[in-house]
Structure 1
Amino acid sequence: MLSRVADSLYWINRYLERAENISRFLEVSEAMALDCPPGSAEPWITLVEVTGDRQRFDQSYPSGLPKDVIRFLLLDRSNPNSIVSCVASARENARQIRDVMTTEMWEQINDLHWSLQDGEAIWSEPDQEQLRTIRRGCQIFYGITDVTLSRDLNWLFSLLGRLIERADKTSRILDVKYFLLLPSQEEVGGVLDELQWIALLRSAGAYQMYRQNNQQAIHPSTVARFLLLDPNFPRSVRYCLQGINDTLQQIKQQPVQGPPDDLECLRGQLLARWSYVRIDVLIERGLHEAIDQLQKDLNRLHNLIHKRYFTTTDFGTTPNNPACALSSFTA
């Protein structure tokens, strides 16, 4: 398999997963803003911090208004992590490997890209409907991929990109809530605090599954446990790390000869670290520090994957795929 093909499939899924997550974040934040005190910037600050683009945003939009956040994350083509930029980058990768993708996959990603151009019908819809349409477009692509692409290396690299991006975004949204938006002591357990935790769960598509697993009142530690350590929820960090580990094992194919290399060690250590730990221990030692280390480990994992599978003497990373698109969030 050509490394440029693996690279493109990996990034198509990372970009679309990123676009879907950002559309989900924006949709929930717009709804949450209705319940916050008038003039509150809290839901919007969260979004900029989650994407790790605070410096770029502050430079481009010094006033920092809610409408600026929406434009920056949805429409700003100078922001490589905006929704329209992510979809455009995914489509460009798909264009380069049309002979590898199924026709249905190409048609879906191409249609989604062109539907987001200036003057298209989507922009005349209400804001919430725009975001739902984008999210559904990304999810339809996942479904088409799942039912039309053979379970070979093409499929494995597609899945790998999706899982790494998903683990990254789930951990980021939880980190921001816990570290930056933790309310004062008297506000803990209050109405606004509970609304924020509900919004957090909804932004990860986890609210209904969380409620089915936890019948009691919403508590920060149980939310953190569900999003980080639940083995069955497909957006939890632990579930994603298990999938990443299994996928890398299948990609490698041949048995390990001699001692494991850096990539083998890291994928095994990450899975073990997040499979055999209790949430009370993570909180006691510092949840922000644990998630920050996870972000660094995901960056390192990406770089090791890139070095092993995507870089050859004939061609390196394609121009629209930076060597590392994860920026570790540190507050």
Structure 2
Amino acid sequence: MLSRVADSLYWINRFVERAENISRFLEVSEAMSLDNPSSNAEPWLPLIDASGDRQLFDQSYPLRSPQDVRGFLLLDRNNPNSIVSCISNARENARQIRDVISTEMWEHINELFWSLQDGEVLWREPDLEQLRTIRRGCQLFYGITDVTLSRDHAWLFSRLGRLIERADKTSRILDVKYFLLLPDPSAVGGVLDELQWIALLRSAGAYQMYRQSVQQAISPTSVAHFLLLDPIFPRSVRFCVQEINDTLECIQHNSIPGSPDELECLRGQLVAKWSYVRIEPLINRGLHEAIDQLQNDLNQLHGLIHNNYFTTPALTPQDLSTISKDPSCSLS
């Protein structure tokens, strides 16, 4: 596959996944604010931290109101990680490779883009339904991709971008909220305490599956375990890391003879690290440090993927149609 095509497919899905996560973060915070209205931005600032844009936000919005947080994450075109910026970038990447993606994929990302542009004035005070519309629009794009794109390199690089972004955002929202939510002993088990942990799970799209899996009272340890180490929840770090490894194995098997040693080594280390660890030792050694190392590993993995696939000479455009039909690469 042409390296620029692989690059675009990878980033389309990272941007859409990023927009979906931010819309869910905002949706959950908006719902919480209805029960606890405040003009103070402090409860909203973890959302800025989760996107990694605190410095830019503080420079742009010195008053730091809840409305500022909403505007920064949803509509601010100077914020490269706002929803508007992410969907715009996803659409631009899709426009450049319209001959590779399906017509349905292009039509949907284009419609999602224009829904934000046309209604920009209305979005300045978003309600829950508007945020749900964005989230569902992103999720619909995943579904359209999965049912209209052949299981070739295009699909593999699309999946790879989505999984790396998902692992990144799940770990970030847990990292910035976990220690903020650790209550003083007098608050443990209270209504507000439980609501806050439920909100964290909802921010990761994990509440219902957590309840089915963990049939006991919510605790910080069980929440951290589910979001980091659950083997079958599709947004947990462990699940994403395993799927990233499997996807890269298929890409390397089908495109470049003699897989890049450094990339193969790192993906193997990530799987081993997150498949054979227990949550209690992880917390005791330092949860923040473990997540920080994960962020570094994901950044390094992204760099290796970029160097190996997005900046190297193209193989042939025909790779899309001649990919090996090895059953081991039939990812679902």
TM-score, structure 1 normalization: 0.90
Map residues 280-299 of structure 1 onto 2, 5 A cutoff: 280-299=280-299
CA distance in 2, matches of 1:186, 1:125: 36
More helix by share: 2
Map residues 160-309 of structure 1 onto 2, 5 A cutoff: 160-253=160-253, 261-309=261-309
User: Offset of 1:121 from its aligned partner?
Assistant: 9.0
User: Offset of 1:42 from its aligned partner?
Assistant: 3.9
Post-superposition Cα deviations, 1:157-208, rounded to whole Å, max 9, x if no partner, equal 0000000000000000111112344333433333222211100001111101
Aligned twin of 2:327: none
Kept in 2: contact 1:115–1:121 (CA 8 A): no
User: Offset of 1:255 from its aligned partner?
Assistant: 10
Rate the CA distance shift 1:13–1:170 in 2: closer, same or farther, 3 A. Answer: same
SS of 1:78's partner is coil
Aligned twin of 1:54: 54
Post-superposition Cα deviations, 1:243-266, rounded to whole Å, max 9, x if no partner, equal 000000000016998896111111
Aligned twin of 1:104: 104
The amino acid of 1:305's aligned partner reads: I
CA distance in 2, matches of 1:104, 1:221: 42
**Where do 5+ consecutive residues of structure 2 fail to align?**
315-332
Kept in 1: contact 2:41–2:69 (CA 8 A): no
Kept in 1: contact 2:253–2:259 (CA 8 A): no
CA distance in 2, matches of 1:122, 1:151: 39
Structure 1: 4+ residue segments shifted above 6 A: 255-260
CA distance in 1, matches of 2:255, 2:133: 44
Kept in 2: contact 1:32–1:43 (CA 8 A): no
Kept in 1: contact 2:50–2:173 (CA 8 A): yes
RMSD, matched Cα = 2.1
Post-superposition Cα deviations, 1:29-82, rounded to whole Å, max 9, x if no partner, equal 111123347445343011011111000000000111000000000000010000
CA distance in 2, matches of 1:306, 1:23: 27
Kept in 2: contact 1:10–1:159 (CA 8 A): yes
Post-superposition Cα deviations, 1:77-127, rounded to whole Å, max 9, x if no partner, equal 010000000000000000000000110000000010011004469649951
The amino acid of 1:32's aligned partner reads: M
Aligned length: 314
Rate the CA distance shift 1:36–1:119 in 2: closer, same or farther, 3 A. Answer: closer
Is the counterpart of residue 115 in structure 1 residue 119 in structure 2? no
Aligned twin of 2:2: 2
**Where do 5+ consecutive residues of structure 1 fail to align?**
315-331
Rate the CA distance shift 1:72–1:120 in 2: closer, same or farther, 3 A. Answer: closer
Kept in 2: contact 1:16–1:138 (CA 8 A): yes
Rate the CA distance shift 1:257–1:162 in 2: closer, same or farther, 3 A. Answer: closer
Rate the CA distance shift 1:42–1:148 in 2: closer, same or farther, 3 A. Answer: same
CA distance in 2, matches of 1:89, 1:304: 22
Kept in 1: contact 2:39–2:66 (CA 8 A): no
CA distance in 2, matches of 1:133, 1:259: 41
Rate the CA distance shift 1:124–1:71 in 2: closer, same or farther, 3 A. Answer: closer
Kept in 2: contact 1:14–1:165 (CA 8 A): yes
Kept in 2: contact 1:36–1:192 (CA 8 A): no
Post-superposition Cα deviations, 1:2-37, rounded to whole Å, max 9, x if no partner, equal 000000000000000000000000000111123347
Aligned twin of 1:326: none
Rate the CA distance shift 1:61–1:252 in 2: closer, same or farther, 3 A. Answer: same
Aligned twin of 1:323: none
CA distance in 1, matches of 2:11, 2:145: 14
Q: What is the aligned-residue identity percentage?
A: 77
SS of 2:78's partner is coil
Rate the CA distance shift 1:42–1:214 in 2: closer, same or farther, 3 A. Answer: farther
Kept in 2: contact 1:245–1:271 (CA 8 A): yes
Rate the CA distance shift 1:94–1:41 in 2: closer, same or farther, 3 A. Answer: same
Q: Does 5-14 or 121-130 show the bigger shift?
A: 121-130
Aligned twin of 1:152: 152
Kept in 1: contact 2:252–2:259 (CA 8 A): no
